Amino acid sequence: MEKFALVTGAGSGVGKCISLALMREGYSLALAGRRPEPLEATAQESRNYGVRTLVVPTDIGDPAAVDQLFRQIKESFGRLDLLFNNAGIFAPAMSLEDLGHEQWQAAVDINLSGAFLCTQGAFRLMKEQQPRGGRIINNGSVSAHAPRPHAVSYTVTKHAITGLTKATSLDGRQYDIACGQIDIGNAASDMTDAISKGVLQADGSIRPEPVMDTEHVARAVVYMASLPLDANVQFMTVMATKMPYIGRG
């Protein structure tokens, strides 16, 4: 039976790596993100795996754009078995009192509202399709537990993702919709280049941090996705072993 997944932020970094891993597992994919060119590049690699891809450039913070995304998924695939809520942005690093409202709102729109809108669209589709149900996996980040200095908008939105995960798990229970969260720490990508070179620590020092291959994250997500709907990984943390997370600060 063909399996269908949606990955947001699928054009680069963790999103691209996980998209390719899901393709290798036989998933046909809807690829969403702001920029069409990276999405098309990810889709090109589907030829190696014999699966279908649907490229939908989408501002996930825009409710109308998300509605259109899910209309296209329903028309093209007919169902959705897996949503990986991955898209996210960092605001520029700065002290809490200096963060502008526009910068705050941009992080809330993408990191939180975007994840909620995509969850809402997936929930509606999964609830009505036959066979009923599906799985939603949220990219939480270790910032859902412990903040970095000068990262208030990212920290707050990722803490809120944990609440979204729990609420979705509860509300989805009666419809065979499972929801879990993967909290990722220092997976190598364009977003973490600065971390490996030197980043502000809680004690005010600047130090490089270890990073890990993103493939380890992809393997974890594939495992979470592989479970039957009567089993769920509620929360999983995958991180570079020696990063300053346990005991951060």
Which residues form the catalytic set? Answer: 154
Strand order in the sheet with 134-139: 53-57, 27-33, 3-8, 82-85, 134-139, 177-185, 235-239
Residue 60 per-residue DSSP state: T
Cross-strand partners of 139: 182
What six digits make up the tokens of 85?
């809520």
Residue 188 per-residue DSSP state: -
Read out DSSP for 71-95?
A: HHHHHHHS--SEEEE----PPPP--
Read out DSSP for 84-140?
A: EE----PPPP--GGG--HHHHHHHIIIIIIHHHHHHHHHHHHHHHSSS--EEEEEE-
Are 100 and 43 in contact by the 8 Å Cβ rule? The answer is no
Task: Identify the residue whose tokens are 């495992």.
Answer: 223
